[in-house]
Amino acid sequence: MRCQPHIQHAAVPRVLFLLCSLVLLAACGAEQIVPSLRASPSSPSSPSSDGASISTAPPVPTPVPSADLVGVIHGAPDTEGGICPVILQDDAGERWEVYLGDAYSREYQGEMVVILGSDDEIIARSGDRVGFNINVDESLGSFCMAGIPVTATDIVFVQRRDN
């Protein structure tokens, strides 16, 4: 007497297809294939194996305040005997001669230019990214011929070069 198998021959391909699908799902990572397994925007963290919470939310950039002129500052201590203002190079590569308003002063410490506040605290130094509010005066001349001359009315922000 011969035993009949419980699985029909027609069902074998379906079972193999399901098994292959499960293997693919496991190999590729369930998060990439099944969207419902991804972290939802309302749950920005997920627990790790040790119970700690791991953030899955994208990093939020630190907002930078709006300024009229933004760029990296440097000095030119050897040009015109050190009388040049702060030199700023903006993101487009344009150079600016920034004359400081009454609330600020600049001095050289070796090759480094330093912007000082009214109580002589260091606000910014060569290599820092600085945002200025400015006045553009067409009659303002350039001693150094190092860039477009402008007058800074306020320092809006400073991003240290070492950060």
Asked if 37 and 73 sit in the same domain, the reply is: no
Residue 52 is assigned to a structural domain of this protein: no
135-153: per-residue pLDDT in tens?
988 887 777 888 899 999 9
Asked if 89 and 139 sit in the same domain, the reply is: yes
* CATH number for 143: 2.40.50
Asked if 73 and 37 sit in the same domain, the reply is: no
User: What pLDDT shows up at residue 78?
Assistant: 73
User: What pLDDT shows up at residue 25?
Assistant: 46
What would the DSSP string read from start to end of 59-110?
PPPPP----SEEEEEE--TTGGGGT--EEEEETTS-EEEEEE-TT-EEEEET
User: Count of domains in the chain?
Assistant: 2
87-99: per-residue pLDDT in tens?
999 999 999 999 9
Q: What is the mean pLDDT of residues 24-28?
A: 49
Confidence label for 162 from pLDDT (cuts 50, 70 and 90): confident
Asked if 31 and 75 sit in the same domain, the reply is: no
Domain containing residue 74: 69-159
Asked if 76 and 155 sit in the same domain, the reply is: yes
